[in-house]
Amino acid sequence: MTGPDPVSLWHRLADTSVLLDGFHALKHAVRFGADVPVAVAVDRGATLALAEELAPDVRDTLDALLTQVPESAYTSLVPRPHPTAVAALAVRPSRAAHLEKLAHTPRAAPVVVLDNPRNLGNAGAVIRLAAGFGATGVVTTGTLDPWHPTVVRAGAGLHFATAVERLTVAELPPGPVFALDPEGDDIRGVKLPDDAVLAFGSERSGLSPELRARAGHLVALPMRPQVSSYNLATSVAMTLYHWSLGGA
Kindly list the distances between the CA atom of residue 24 and the CA atoms of 47, 73, 195, 239, in Å, as whole numbers in the listed order: 11, 20, 30, 26
- The pLDDT tens digits for 84-141 are 999 999 999 999 999 999 999 999 999 999 999 999 999 999 999 999 999 999 999 9
- The pLDDT tens digits for 172-231 are 999 999 999 988 999 999 999 999 999 999 877 789 999 999 999 999 999 888 777 788
Q: What is the pLDDT of residue 23?
A: 96
- Cα separation, 191 vs 15, in Å, equals 44
Cβ-based neighbour number of residue 97 at 10 Å: 10
128 backbone dihedrals φ, ψ, rounded to 5°: -60, -45
